[in-house]
């Protein structure tokens, strides 16, 4: 498992040696800035992704890309199988997974957790497996980029909707919202609007199950993607034809 922090976009990114770089994004972008900001962030994130893939290739080849040349864990190179790369993310991270797979054929499968799509992947689609999981009452008809992508993508794809979930149900906010309400730091209505009413621990378990099954299927452990919906049967997840 590899995670990425996108420098100057993340709230804070700490580098070896203790240097910390903070976000330079506007706190409250205007309507005209949102599109430009999203396009720039997408371009940067895809570049970051391809950079990380290149560094993983260095490790697999026995090279050490560590900035301080610290010794790498024993047998790390042998543990990497770069023929089976899957990528997933939430919101713009999910959109990044889709666009990065479009741009880099090293990525064999991708999953998007409730992220609007950006970039050329919207009009050109994907020829490899793709999973979209959205919040309740947010189908492809409500999100133009999803609808356009679905109409053009030639590859295998699945779309599920998670009942009683909202956009922030797919990140850490879902687990900390209730304690924040209990502590009186945020109103209950605001928490429900952000994370929905689904039990956060159940939501996390269901998301993990679907992501694990999707990547197990698409990266070679199993081979029948069409059977994946019927093999899971969690009542919270609704298959969108």
Domain 83-241 is found in CATH 3.40.50.1820: yes
DSSP code of residue 8 = T
SS3 220: coil
The tens digit of pLDDT for each residue in 62-115 reads: 999 988 888 889 999 999 999 999 999 999 999 999 999 999 999 999 999 999
User: How far apart are alpha carbons 231 and 206 in whole angstroms?
Assistant: 13
User: How far apart are alpha carbons 55 and 44 in whole angstroms?
Assistant: 17
Q: In angstroms, how far is CA 79 from the centroid of its own chain? A: 23
Look at residue 30 in the predicted model and tell me its pLDDT.
Answer: 77
Look at residue 70 in the predicted model and tell me its pLDDT.
Answer: 84
The pTM score is: 0.92
CA distances from residue 40 to 9, 92, 95, 207 in whole angstroms, order as listed: 10, 12, 13, 29
Report domain extents, the chain.
Answer: 1-17+29-82, 83-241
Mean model confidence pLDDT for the chain:
92
């Amino acid at each position: 498992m590899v995670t990425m922090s996108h420098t100057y976009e993340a709230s804070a990114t700490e580098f070896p040696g203790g240097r910390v770089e903070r976000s330079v994004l506007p706190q409250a972008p205007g309507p005209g800035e949102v599109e430009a900001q999203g396009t720039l962030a997408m371009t940067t994130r895809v570049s970051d992704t391809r950079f990380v893939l290149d560094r993983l290739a260095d490790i697999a080849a026995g090279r050490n890309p560590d900035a301080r040349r610290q010794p790498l864990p024993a047998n790390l190179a042998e543990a990497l199988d770069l023929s089976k790369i899957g990528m997933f993310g939430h919101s713009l991270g999910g959109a990044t997974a889709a666009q990065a797979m479009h741009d880099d054929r090293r990525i064999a499968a991708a999953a998007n957790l409730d992220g609007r799509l950006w970039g050329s992947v919207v009009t050109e689609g994907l020829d490899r497996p793709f999973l979209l999981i959205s919040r309740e009452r947010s189908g492809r008809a409500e999100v133009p980029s999803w609808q356009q992508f679905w109409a053009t993508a030639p590859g295998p794809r699945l779309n599920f909707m998670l009942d009683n979930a909202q956009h922030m149900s797919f990140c850490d906010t879902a687990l900390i919202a209730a304690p924040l309400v209990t502590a009186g730091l945020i109103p209950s209505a605001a928490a429900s609007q952000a994370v929905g009413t689904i039990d956060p621990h159940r939501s996390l378990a269901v998301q993990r199950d679907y992501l694990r099954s999707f990547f197990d299927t698409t990266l070679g452990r199993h081979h029948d993607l069409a059977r994946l919906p019927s093999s899971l049967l969690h009542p919270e997840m609704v298959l969108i034809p």
